[in-house]
Structure 1
Amino acid sequence: MHPHKFTLWVAIASILMMFAGLTSAFIVKSNLVGWRTVTMPDVFWISTAVIVASSITMQMAVRAFRQRVMQQYRLLTAITVLLGLGFVVLQYMGFHELWKNNIRFIGASGAGQFLYVIFGLHAIHVIGGMVALVIMFGRAFFGRVKQYSPVPVEVMATYWHFVDILWLYLLVFFLIVG
């Protein structure tokens, strides 16, 4: 296994442990007296469709890169970046709706606090992925290929799929348990 891929899998394992701990704490705390649930904004469903679409275009970009169809790779990378930005904007809109509904971190009790912490940590990981996507996009259009290696593209795709699957897990978790 390539060292970059191994490092990514170690990082993914540690991130999974963090989110497992947070969702476990949510389950334990949800049995306390005075616990308030949160209704998820509908815009989160749209953002879910957008991030799933971005994962599909990311995988198509990997395939195009492996087949050395660089025009298609560039186009699919650009679409993935735009979809990623769309996800971030839709998430912002969802949190703005929560804020309008008086669901805030400070002064909130129950699911609202956990929602901000857990979704906020996911947002940090998505933004990190967006930075990497933009760098990959820049290299696709402006970089010079010294040595053809699909490893960076595969590492980025694996991470992007991970944040996608993590979002799906968190959304389902809050819908079922929250």
Structure 2
Amino acid sequence: MIAVQTERNRIHPHKFTLWVAMGSIIMMFAGLTSAYIVKKNQANWLEFSLPGIFWYSTLVILLSSVTMHLSVKSFKARELGRYKALITLTALLGLVFIIMQYLGFTELESRNIALTGARSNSSASFLFVITGLHMLHVLGGVIALLVVFTRAFAAKQRHYSAVPVEITATYWHFVDVLWIYLFVFYNWIS
């Protein structure tokens, strides 16, 4: 009985690795946003408002977290049809988020706010680098979703483990919360 209880309290090695990686990602974004604050106090800082599409992309990523949560619940309840539909919707919402972010950057460029290059300002470049890194992390989450998606539609598997789905969900919720932090930071903190 004690051995069973000890086994239940241990964290899966893949989940532990994910938590370590997320800690590293948090430190990276904390450093970048700290540098943003320091750089903002310089005289040549350009003030501009975020594109409105960033608000809509925030709603999209929040909705994707809801569909991810529901997909995990469906997987654990062995409702595979519902799980497949929800994991597909989550991956699509992730792609929509990335596309909306890209459209936000093109809107900034159309307003003559250069993100990179000789005519760029450090404020726009910081926004581009920080948000671009977040988009890469979301893309990594979409790839993980596509792996889980592929497994869901593959032939029957020998064992029914929720660990890959839980790891993907944890990471997905993490990039969601990370975007909320960045969005609040850009709009109210910085």
TM over 0.5: yes
Q: Bigger CA drift: 153-162 or 92-101?
A: 92-101
In structure 2, how many angstroms separate the alpha carbons of the residues matched to 1:85 and 1:124?
A: 11
Cα deviations by residue, 1:150-172 (Å, 9 ceiling, x for unpaired): 00000000000011110111011
TM-score when normalising by structure 1: 0.96
CA RMSD of aligned residues (A): 1.0
Q: 1:150 aligns with which of 153, 162, 173?
A: 162
Q: Identity percentage over the alignment?
A: 52
Deviation at 1:130, TM superposition (A): 0.8
In structure 1, how many angstroms separate the alpha carbons of the residues matched to 2:31 and 2:188?
A: 17
Q: Bigger CA drift: 142-151 or 41-50?
A: 142-151
**AA at the equivalent of 1:44:** F
Is the contact made by 1:37 and 1:110 (CA closer than 8 Å) also made in structure 2?
A: no
Cα deviations by residue, 1:24-61 (Å, 9 ceiling, x for unpaired): 01111111112112210000111110110000000000
Deviation at 1:177, TM superposition (A): 3.4
Counterpart of 2:125 in structure 1 is 113
Counterpart of 2:3 in structure 1 is none
Q: 1:89 aligns with which of 99, 107, 112?
A: 99
Question: Runs of at least 4 residues of structure 1 off by over 6 A?
Answer: none
Is the contact made by 1:51 and 1:87 (CA closer than 8 Å) also made in structure 2?
A: yes
In structure 1, how many angstroms separate the alpha carbons of the residues matched to 2:167 and 2:63?
A: 18
**AA at the equivalent of 1:139:** R
Alignment of 1:42-121 (within 5 A): 42-104=52-114, 105-106=116-117, 107-121=119-133
Deviation at 1:95, TM superposition (A): 0.9
Structure 1 unaligned residues grouped into runs of 5+: none
